[in-house]
Amino acid sequence: MLKVKSDNQVKQGPFELKGKDFIKMADFEPNDIFFLLDQALEMKNLQKKGIPHPYLSGKVLGMIFEKSSTRTRVSFEVGMLQLGGQAIFLSSNDIQLGRGESIEDTAKVLSRYVDGLMVRTFAHDSIEQFAQAADIPVINGLTDLHHPTQVLADLLTIYEHKGTLTGLKMCYIGDGNNNMCHSLLEGAASVGMHLSVASPNGYEPNLSIMGKAKQIGKSTGSNVIYTESPEEAIKQADIVVTDVWTSMGQEEEQKRRFDAFESYQVNADLCSHAKQDFIFLHCLPAHRGEEVTAEIIDGPHSVVFDEAENRLHAQKAILKSLMKY
List per-residue pLDDT tens for the chain, 325 residues long: 346 654 444 455 555 787 899 999 999 999 999 999 999 999 999 999 999 999 999 999 999 999 989 999 999 999 999 999 999 999 988 898 878 899 999 999 999 999 999 999 999 999 999 999 999 999 999 999 999 999 999 999 999 999 999 999 999 999 999 999 999 999 999 999 999 999 999 999 999 999 999 999 999 999 999 999 999 999 999 999 999 998 766 677 888 999 999 999 999 999 999 999 999 999 999 999 999 999 999 999 999 999 999 999 999 999 999 998 6
Do residues 244 and 279 both lie within one domain?
yes
Has 220 been labeled as part of a binding site?
no
Contact 294, 282 (CB under 8 A): no
The confidence score (pLDDT) of residue 253 equals 82
Query: What's this model's pTM, rounded to 2 decimal places?
Result: 0.95
Q: Which active-site residues does the annotation give?
A: 120, 147, 150, 243, 283, 311
Contact 181, 243 (CB under 8 A): yes
> With the CA atoms of 29, 31, 32 and 35 taken in that order, what torsion angle do they form, in degrees rounded to the nearest 10?
170
Is 3 part of a structural domain of the chain? no
Has 69 been labeled as part of a binding site?
yes
The confidence score (pLDDT) of residue 311 equals 98
Do residues 107 and 252 both lie within one domain?
no
Whether the bond into 285 is cis, omega within 30 of 0? yes
Kindly report the CATH number assigned to the domain that includes residue 134: 3.40.50.1370
Has 293 been labeled as part of a binding site?
no
Is 11 part of a structural domain of the chain? no
Longest dimension (CA), the chain: 55
Nearest 5°: CA angle at 271, between 265 and 277?
Answer: 140
Residues belonging to the chain: 325
Q: State the CB neighbour count (10 A cutoff) for residue 10.
A: 10
The confidence score (pLDDT) of residue 14 equals 56
Instruction: Report the C-alpha gap between 248 and 309 in whole angstroms.
Output: 22
The confidence score (pLDDT) of residue 1 equals 38
Has 284 been labeled as part of a binding site?
yes
Instruction: Report the C-alpha gap between 277 and 239 in whole angstroms.
Output: 9
Do residues 128 and 203 both lie within one domain?
no
Has 179 been labeled as part of a binding site?
yes
Has 148 been labeled as part of a binding site?
yes
Do residues 203 and 235 both lie within one domain?
yes
Instruction: Report the C-alpha gap between 31 and 190 in whole angstroms.
Output: 9
Instruction: Report the C-alpha gap between 156 and 314 in whole angstroms.
Output: 8
Do residues 136 and 33 both lie within one domain?
yes
Has 154 been labeled as part of a binding site?
no
Do residues 137 and 164 both lie within one domain?
no
Range of the domain at 208: 148-307
Is 16 part of a structural domain of the chain? no
Cα radius of gyration (the chain): 19
The confidence score (pLDDT) of residue 2 equals 47
Q: How many domains does the chain have?
A: 2
